[in-house]
Amino acid sequence: MSIFLHHRRIGGPAEVVVGLRSSEQGPQAVMLNQVLLSRVGVVESVERALAEHNVCLITGPSGSGKSCLLHELSQRCLDRCQKPLWISAQQQTLSLLGTISGKPDLIIIDALEEWLTRFGPEVVGLHCRGLVARGFKVLISCRRRYWDNLANPSVFDPPQVRLEKLNLEEQMEFIRRYSEVFAVQGISS
C-alpha cells in the first residue's frame, strides 16, 4: 500500500485529499474514503480561473495530484450533464487539437510535458492558445519543472494553479488518521 494524492468528494465540495492506493479488494480498499486529508480551495481556484479566462494550467511535481484533480473536474462536468473531452498527451498526437469538432464543455489535456518535449513550447503554446481562441474551456496539467524550463510565456501564459507535495504536518496528520482507521477496523497494513 502507498500514500498518494487523490481528488474525491467528501460530503460536500470536492477537495484534494490523500488516501491509500491498493491493488487489493475488500476492507483495505474500503478504507480509502476514511483516511483523508483535504487541501481546501484547489478545485475552486481552478474553476474560478476557467470561468474568468477559459483556461487554467495545473502544475506540480510528479505525484502531487495533477491528474487526480483533472479527474475530479471531469467528474464535476459529468455531474452537471456537461461533456468533457479528455486528451492524454502521452497517448495522442498534438495534431488532434486541430480536429476537435462539436462543442465539448471542457477540454482536459493531461501531461502536457510530453508534447512540450516533443514539439517545443512555441508549437504547443500556439495550439493551446488556438483552442481558447475558438471558444473552448481548456484545463491543462504539466509537471512544473517542464513548464518552468520549456514554456514560452510570450506564446502561451495561462493562469496557473500550483500543487505541492505534502508537507511534514500533512504527512503526520495522514499517518495519525491512517493509524486511527486501521486500529478501529482491526486491519493491519
- The mean pLDDT of 158-179, rounded to a whole number, is 80
Whether the CB-CB separation of 43 and 13 falls below 8 Å is answered with: yes
- Identify the band that residue 67 occupies on the pLDDT scale cut at 50, 70 and 90: confident
> Cα angle at 44 between 42 and 40, to 5 degrees?
45
Q: Is the pLDDT confidence value at 16 over 60?
A: no
Question: Do residues 140 and 106 touch, judged by C-beta distance below 8 A?
Answer: no
pLDDT for res 39: 55
* Model pLDDT, residue 19: 40
Neighbours of 186 (CB within 10 A): 7
Collect all residues with Cβ–Cβ distance below 8 Å to 50 and sequence separation of at least 6.
Answer: 56, 106, 137, 139
Mean residue pLDDT across the chain: 75
Q: Tell me, what's the pLDDT at 91?
A: 75
Q: How confident is the model at residue 40 (pLDDT cuts 50, 70, 90)?
A: low
Confidence of residue 142 (pLDDT cuts 50, 70, 90): very high
Residue 5 has pLDDT above 80, yes or no: no
Q: What are 12's strand-pairing partners?
A: none
pLDDT at 89 > cutoff 90: no
Compute the average pLDDT of residues 11-30: 39
For residue 176, what is the DSSP state? H
139 has a pLDDT exceeding 90: yes
86 vs 104: CA distance, rounded Å: 10
Is 36 in contact with 10 (CB distance < 8 Å)? yes
Q: Is the model more confident about 82 or about 151?
A: 82
Q: Exposed, middle or buried, 159 (CB in 10 Å: 0-12/13-18/19+)?
A: middle
On the question of pLDDT at 65 being above 50, the answer is yes
CB-neighbour burial class of residue 167 (10 A; exposed 0-12, middle 13-18, buried 19+): exposed
Specify the higher pLDDT residue, 174 or 146. Answer: 146
pLDDT given for residue 27 in this prediction: 43
